Amino acid sequence: MKFRAKIIDIGCLNHLTRVVTTISKLTKTCVLRLTADNLFFVLSGKVANGGVSMWCELSQVNFFDEYQMEGVSSEANEICLEVTAENLSRALKTVQNSKVVKVKLTKKHCPCLTVAAELPTLSSVSRVVTHDVPVDVIPRRLWHEFKEPSMPDFDVSIYLPPLKTMKNVVDRMKNLSNFLVIEANLNGEMNLKIETDLVSVTTHFRDLGNPPWGGEGSQDGGRSQGRDPDSMAHARVDIRKLQQFLTGQQVNPSKAMCNIVHKRIVHLILLHEDASLQYFIPAVA
């Protein structure tokens, strides 16, 4: 197994750092899958993390100037590592103004992802900083847990309102209730509702628009077909999970969508220029 990559463009470095920082806000540890073309940050839905799962895909050519990966074997040409995202984020944040950043898979006291950079200085010799982020290699027999999730058979698919607005709303609602209902219909309407014994609060969003696959789209015979455009599909979720998702977002995505499987799952999709992030929040009763 071998992995070496190099970043020389400060914009790419910046972007990668932001993606990793976003991941670090969503979960403490996650799995990093390295393939020849992509990097994936995966969190598989387990009871321990409240059933949420995450899939973040980056195309390596958009970030790295050099990228060499030799996987476990030739049929299974990929590397699967468990890493604490915050460590990686911290390592990348400190080297933001360096000329060259190299990331390598190394074996020090344990397997590590080493981030090494040369920082510019006034002296003739540049400062070298290295961060060794310890990782766990995931054995092949467990790789099936970290496969790309399939698009759920959703009832409604809708574009999200501006994330910042949503975050403000959810932040205030969090003070009132632990659970929030997201409902949306195929007419571009979405509501965020909380209900307690004392109070119920609903925030209405209009004219959001629905992605083209809701309705006729790729889901032939899917649940959203032939659906009454005004009827709302909803799911009740743990408000903290939604808040965590919204807080972590540092950059406005080019597209942000939400798929709702009625009373089952909320599937959030954010598309950036060269990275995509999917987040699944299961519904609670």
Least distance in angstroms from the C-beta of 120 to other proteins? 11
Q: Token pair of 65, please?
A: 């100037």
| Beta-carbon contacts of residue 27 (< 8 Å; ≥ 6 apart) | 43, 49, 54, 85
Q: Token pair of 204, please?
A: 């209405």
Least distance in angstroms from the C-beta of 3 to other proteins? 18
**Please, how many CA atoms are within 13 Å of residue 50, restricted to the half-sphere of its CB?**
18
Distances in Å between the Cα of 182 and the Cα atoms of 213, 245, 268, 278 are: 20, 14, 12, 17
Nearer to other proteins, 134 or 282 (CB): 134
Nearer to other proteins, 104 or 262 (CB): 104
DSSP string, 245-275: HHHH--S--SEEEEEEETTTEEEEEEE-SSE
Nearer to other proteins, 48 or 125 (CB): 125
Nearer to other proteins, 10 or 110 (CB): 110
Nearer to other proteins, 99 or 172 (CB): 99
The total of other beta-carbon atoms located within 10 Å of residue 75's CB is 6
Nearer to other proteins, 101 or 256 (CB): 101
Nearer to other proteins, 36 or 110 (CB): 110
- Which helix (DSSP H) or strand (DSSP E) does residue 276 occupy? strand 275-282
| Beta-carbon contacts of residue 228 (< 8 Å; ≥ 6 apart) | 186
Least distance in angstroms from the C-beta of 106 to other proteins? 11
Candidates 31, 137, 143, 136; CA nearest to 76 is 143
Nearer to other proteins, 108 or 172 (CB): 108
Least distance in angstroms from the C-beta of 247 to other proteins? 21
Q: Coil, helix or strand for 137?
A: strand
The total of other beta-carbon atoms located within 10 Å of residue 216's CB is 12
At 175, phi and psi to the nearest 5?
-70, -20
Where on the chain is the footprint of other proteins (CB under 8 A)? 84, 87, 90-91, 94, 108-110, 112, 119, 121-125, 127-134
Pairing of the two strands 255-261 and 265-271: antiparallel
Rg (CA), the chain: 21
DSSP designation for 220: T
Least distance in angstroms from the C-beta of 95 to other proteins? 8
